Structure formats: C-alpha cells, structure tokens
C-alpha cells in the first residue's frame, strides 16, 4: 500500500475506503484513527508528507474544515509536524510508538500484600441468588421514596458540597446518626466523634492504616467475617484466630504465647457467622483484657437491628468507660450495600486525626446523598424501614425453615435464628459440606460453606444460609432443594 512518492494518492484512496457516513464515530474521528494507525504501524514513516487539506477534502468529498480539524489533532499530539511552505509531514517518532517494535507486555508481579488480597478475593460472592449471606431485601427497599429524596437533595445541593471535604461527613447526617445510635444502640457519642466512610470495609482499612504497623498482631473471631480478615491479612498484620464459643470471642482461648494484640475485632451483638450474642460479663472481661493489653477493640455492629423477639442488645462501646472501643456501623444491611455508606464512632482521642487521615486518603464527598440520608433518618423513614424489614425477614426466615422441615426432622441442625439475616446449618463433615456446595452449584444455587469463615485448620463444617435478600418463592425452591439434597446424603 505504501508509496512514498505518490503518498497523496494512496492516502486519499485508502481513506476513501475507510470513511463511512453512518458510523457512530464522526468523520474527524475516523480520519484521525486511520492516519494515526498508519503512522503507528509504519505505513507512514518519518518525513512522509501528507496531501494538502484542499486536495484531501476534494478527493474525499468532505469539508475542508473536517480535514483541518483532524490535522490539528495529529499536530497537537506530535504525530505530524508543519513545515513552513511545505505542508505537513510525519514526525520522527520514538521507536516505541510503532507496534512492531513494542516490547512484550510487562510481566505482572503482584506485591506479597497484593497476592494475599487476591487469594482472599477468590470467594467473593457475585450475583444475587437464594442463600447469599448478608444481602438485605433489595426488592423491599423504598426506591421511589429514596429517589425523590435524592432528586430534591441534589437539586438543593450547596455549592460548597462540590468542593473537597474534610469534616468526616455532612454534619446533619452525623447529628442524625448520633441521635439514632444513642437511642437505639446505647452508643456514647457526640457528632464530632463520627466519621462517615464508604462502608464498614473502608472503616476497617482506616483503622488498620492508622493504628497498626506491618507485623502487628490482631485478634479475629474464628469463624469470622471475610472482609475484616482480608483487610488485616492484606495489610501484613499477624492475625490470631481466637475461637468463638457460645458467648462469642473467648479471650481465655487465645494461645498462651501469643503477642498482645494491637486490635481485637468482634461482632458482639450477633457474631458473624455463628450468630451468638456476647453477654455482658464476657463483654466486661474483653474490655478489661483490652485495657490491660493496650488493645483497641473494633466493635462491628453490622446487623444488630434485626432481632426477632428480644430487643437489640446495647452496644459494647456504651459499656466502655475507658474508651478503648472503636464502633463501626454500616448502612449496607439496614438500607443497601450499593449505597457504600458506613461510619466510625471514635474515642475523642482519635476522632480529629481519623478525620484528617480519611480526607487525605479517601477524599470524602457525596454530600447530597448524605443530606438525603439525614432527612431519611430524621423524618422517621429509617426506623420505619427497619421495622418493616424486621417483619419481612422474620417471615422469610419462617419460610426457609418450612422448606427445610423435612431435613430438620431427619436430623439437620439449624441455628435458633433469634437475630440476623441468615441461619446456620451444622454439618457432620467437611466432605459432606463440599458435596452439598458442589451439587448446589450444579443446580444453580450458591451455598456458603461455614469452613470458609475459618483461618485455622480447625474448621467446622456447615452452611451459612442467607434468607433476607431472597423472595419467599426463591427461598421455598432453594430450601426444598437443599432439604432433599441433605436427606439424600443421609440415606
């Protein structure tokens, strides 16, 4: 195709073949892409002159302005050079630009932190199917009401909200949240102690960044929440799994020679995933241990609102005179995880620095959404939504129990389900767990094996059966399938 002397002819002919009037790309984009490609592939080389804009426009039957706009773009990128009186010619480009001389792609070598993170990301659930743990009822979220609120708050958004923010969240949201937490969760707080984050996960990351060094020790409930495990392990912390008994994390079961932890992560209201609640004497023992060892307790209060029968247990933070507890909350369960809104309630001694570090690292923002959420809370929509979800989840759980009745009658052990968004089914062996997970996957059902929530080799087999995010008919179908699959394994 290349003919240096008669470049004008071949360029015009080749461009005419490529231009299509009904393509989504504009004529300028089409001309630009073709010429750039020829330069990169070496069809046009350094010193080649381009036809004049008048000649090209005439030959292609297009406006001269279109040709000039294309050439301007190539000139601006340095692919062409204008020579006084001699028109445009191809610049002398570094060899790297031509594809033939491109080096092979850089081999990917992740950091050891990155490798750990990727190993821990293998089991991320995707899609939204029956039994997905931790997913709220998206079908029951008041979408229209929320969208109306959002529209209004975007419309009335203050100009200052478009700027960089450093206050740790919109003050009206922090004030509304503070009232809610004081009343509903017995959290001791002032709005200045709150930092709004993009979910609990970002709160764990901020705590890890600010309060730990590589190699520091952190105690983690065993079994425990994968998101927190991933955050600590990928940050190079030494994670010591502490067994959970009927009262939650038991400090007296910590290895005798284990170093004093910098952080202790707990879900005392409703341990994830075992479902046990930490009673007050164990809470006091934990607070006492943490104060002696100089450890910060992370209280992850992710779904405490959903209790069926008894009122929610007050927070651990509210018991702590000596303020060694960092309370982490999230709107992912009570509203929806797509919102990416959570928060930290920090001791006074930490609040100011966490606010600064958060602004430095994460560049907080989205104040119109925070403003809408503040109104959602202060007008009572939030507590009404929680009450509605509590009733719906109780019903969904009952539906799942009904579907599992034949298996339970034949010996399947199910958790009491007094709280939360999932039931736990205990199994006898890891082989049984593996078999059920595999058969479910073949049937298009995602089952979460309990063994996945363990870091040590001392794993207990079981299934974490989320019910909040599925409709009753989905739960009925999946539950009946599981009941039958379990019975078949046991006969």
Ligand X SMILES: Cc1ncc(COP(=O)(O)O)c(C=O)c1O
Contact 134, 466 (CB under 8 A): yes
Of the candidates 398, 415, 399, the residue with the CA atom closest to the CA atom of residue 460: 415
* Contact status: 302 vs ligand X (CB under 6 A): yes
* Contact status: 134 vs ligand X (CB under 6 A): yes
Contact 92, 47 (CB under 8 A): yes
Q: Which of 191, 223, 227, 347 binds ligand X (CB under 6 A)?
A: 227
E-strand spans in 80-135?
A: 80-83, 87-90
Nearest-CB residue for ligand X: 199
Contact 402, 477 (CB under 8 A): no
Q: Which is nearer to ligand X, 30 or 330 (CB)?
A: 330
* Contact status: 337 vs ligand X (CB under 6 A): yes
Question: How far apart are the C-alpha atoms of 268 and 409, rounded to whole Å?
Answer: 31
Q: How near is the Cβ of 285 to ligand X at its closest, in Å?
A: 22
Which of these ranges, 2-10, 153-161, 194-202, 305-313, lies near ligand X under the rule CB under 6 A? 194-202
Q: How near is the Cβ of 293 to ligand X at its closest, in Å?
A: 23
* Contact status: 449 vs ligand X (CB under 6 A): no
Q: Which is nearer to ligand X, 38 or 354 (CB)?
A: 354
Contact 234, 226 (CB under 8 A): no
Q: How near is the Cβ of 380 to ligand X at its closest, in Å?
A: 23
3-state secondary structure of 484: helix
String of contacts with ligand X for each residue 7-46, x by CB under 6 A: ----------------------------------------
* Contact status: 201 vs ligand X (CB under 6 A): yes
- The residue whose two tokens read 């202060």 is 378
* Contact status: 330 vs ligand X (CB under 6 A): yes
Q: Which is nearer to ligand X, 36 or 129 (CB)?
A: 129
Q: Which of 248, 342, 449, 479 binds ligand X (CB under 6 A)?
A: 342
Its sign, for the CA torsion 154, 158, 164, 169, is: negative
Of the candidates 289, 213, 307, the residue with the CA atom closest to the CA atom of residue 251: 289
Q: How near is the Cβ of 407 to ligand X at its closest, in Å?
A: 25
Tokens, residue 142: 């008041």
Give the neighbor-by-neighbor strand order of the sheet with 342-345.
194-197, 342-345, 325-330, 296-300, 263-266, 217-222, 238-245, 248-249
* Contact status: 424 vs ligand X (CB under 6 A): no
- Which secondary-structure segment (H or E) carries 245? strand 238-245
* Contact status: 317 vs ligand X (CB under 6 A): no
Helices (H), 99-193: 112-120, 143-155, 171-185
Q: How near is the Cβ of 332 to ligand X at its closest, in Å?
A: 3
Which of these ranges, 94-102, 168-176, 196-204, 345-353, lies near ligand X under the rule CB under 6 A? 196-204
Question: How far apart are the C-alpha atoms of 176 and 376, rounded to whole Å?
Answer: 9
87-90 and 80-83: which strand pairing?
Answer: antiparallel
Q: Which is nearer to ligand X, 51 or 169 (CB)?
A: 169
Q: Which is nearer to ligand X, 32 or 131 (CB)?
A: 131
* Contact status: 195 vs ligand X (CB under 6 A): no
Q: How near is the Cβ of 232 to ligand X at its closest, in Å?
A: 13
Question: How far apart are the C-alpha atoms of 419 and 441, rounded to whole Å?
Answer: 27
Size of the site for ligand X (CB under 6 A): 14
Q: How near is the Cβ of 248 to ligand X at its closest, in Å?
A: 13
Of the candidates 263, 212, 219, 257, the residue with the CA atom closest to the CA atom of residue 241: 219
Q: Which is nearer to ligand X, 27 or 218 (CB)?
A: 218
* Contact status: 225 vs ligand X (CB under 6 A): yes
* Contact status: 371 vs ligand X (CB under 6 A): no
* Contact status: 200 vs ligand X (CB under 6 A): yes
Question: How far apart are the C-alpha atoms of 405 and 408, rounded to whole Å?
Answer: 5
Report the 10 Å Cβ neighbour count for 78: 10
String of contacts with ligand X for each residue 238-277, x by CB under 6 A: -----------------------------x----x-----
Q: Which of 168, 199, 223, 449 binds ligand X (CB under 6 A)?
A: 199
Contacts with ligand X by CB under 6 A lie at 134, 199-201, 225, 227, 267, 272, 300, 302, 330, 332, 337, 342
């Amino acid at each position: 195709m290349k003919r240096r002397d008669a470049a004008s002819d071949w360029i015009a002919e080749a461009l005419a073949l490529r231009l299509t009037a009904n393509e989504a790309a504009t004529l300028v984009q089409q001309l630009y892409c073709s010429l750039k490609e020829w330069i990169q592939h070496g069809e046009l080389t350094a010193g080649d002159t381009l036809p004049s804009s008048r000649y090209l426009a005439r030959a292609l039957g297009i406006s001269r302005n279109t040709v000039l706009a294309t050439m301007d773009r190539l000139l601006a990128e340095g692919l062409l050079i204008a020579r006084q009186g001699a028109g445009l010619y191809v610049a002398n480009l570094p060899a790297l630009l031509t594809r033939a001389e491109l080096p092979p792609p850089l081999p990917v070598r992740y950091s050891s932190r990155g490798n750990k993170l990727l190993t821990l990301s293998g089991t991320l659930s995707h899609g939204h199917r029956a039994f997905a743990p931790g997913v709220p009822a998206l079908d029951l979220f008041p979408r229209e009401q929320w969208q109306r609120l959002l529209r209004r708050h975007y419309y009335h958004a203050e100009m200052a909200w478009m700027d960089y923010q450093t206050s740790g969240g919109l003050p009206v949201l922090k004030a509304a949240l503070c009232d809610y937490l004081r009343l509903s969760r017995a959290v001791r707080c002032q709005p200045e102690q709150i930092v709004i984050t993009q979910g609990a996960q970002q709160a764990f990351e901020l705590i890890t960044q600010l309060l730990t060094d590589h190699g520091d020790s952190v105690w983690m409930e065993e079994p425990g929440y994968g998101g927190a495990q991933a955050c600590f392990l990928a940050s190079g912390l030494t994670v010591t799994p502490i067994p959970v008994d009927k009262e939650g994390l038991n400090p007296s079961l910590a290895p005798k020679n284990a170093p004093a932890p910098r952080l202790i992560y707990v879900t005392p209201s409703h341990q994830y995933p075992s479902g046990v609640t930490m009673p007050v004497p164990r809470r006091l023992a934990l607070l006492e241990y943490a104060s002696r060892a100089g450890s910060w307790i992370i209280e992850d209060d992710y779904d405490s609102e959903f209790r069926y029968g008894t009122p929610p247990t007050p927070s651990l933070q509210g018991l702590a005179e000596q303020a060694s507890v960092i309370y982490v909350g999230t709107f992912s369960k009570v509203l929806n995880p797509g919102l990416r809104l959570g928060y930290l309630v920090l001791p006074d001694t930490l609040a100011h620095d966490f606010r600064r570090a958060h602004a430095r690292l994460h560049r907080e923002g989205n104040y119109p959404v925070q403003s809408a959420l503040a109104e959602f809370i202060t007008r009572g929509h939030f507590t009404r939504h929680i009450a509605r979800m509590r009733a719906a989840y109780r019903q969904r759980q009952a539906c799942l129990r009904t579907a599992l009745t034949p298996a339970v009658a034949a010996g399947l052990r199910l958790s009491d389900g007094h709280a939360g968004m999932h039931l736990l089914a205990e199994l006898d062996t890891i082989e049984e767990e593996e078999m059920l997970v595999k058969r479910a996957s073949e049937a298009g059902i995602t089952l979460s094996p309990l063994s996945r929530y363990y870091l040590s080799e001392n794993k207990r087999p079981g299934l974490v059966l989320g019910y909040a995010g599925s409709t009753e008919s989905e739960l009925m179908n999946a539950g009946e399938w599981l009941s039958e699959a379990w019975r078949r394994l046991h006969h």
